[in-house]
Amino acid sequence: MATELLDFHAEWCGPCKVMEPIIDQIKTELAGQVEVKKIDVDNESDVASQHGVMSIPTFIILKDGTEVERFIGSQPKDDLVKKIQAHLS
């Protein structure tokens, strides 16, 4: 998959909980177009560190493995979808 959305979150994070159903909807609606990867920063701190994630939730869009956009904090679903669609092949 050429376009990926990395969702850095934690179980104890309130804004992450708010974003969870939105990310699940995006995963369903854009299935086959974008691969959504949920990364729990408590369990996968090495991956978070690799990407320089300092705050959660953080969302990173990768295009062919390269970061093209990053968002920190809760995002409106429509805004997030538009940002992802801008990077689809």
Q: Give pTM, 2 decimals.
A: 0.94
pLDDT tens digit string along 18-70?
999 999 999 999 999 999 999 999 999 999 999 999 999 999 999 999 999 99
Q: Which among 51, 42, 17 is positioned nearest to 59, based on CA atoms?
A: 51
Place of tokens 């669609």: 85
16 is catalytic: yes
The pLDDT value given to residue 37 = 97
- CA 22 – CA 42 distance, rounded (Å): 21
Of 5, 6, 16, 34, which one is the catalytic site residue? 16
Identify the CATH homologous superfamily for domain 3-85. Glutaredoxin (3.40.30.10)
The pLDDT value given to residue 64 = 93
Enumerate the domain spans of the chain: 3-85
Region of 73 please: left (phi>0), alpha (psi -120 to 50) or beta.
Answer: left
77 is catalytic: no
Of 3, 4, 5, 13, which one is the catalytic site residue? 13
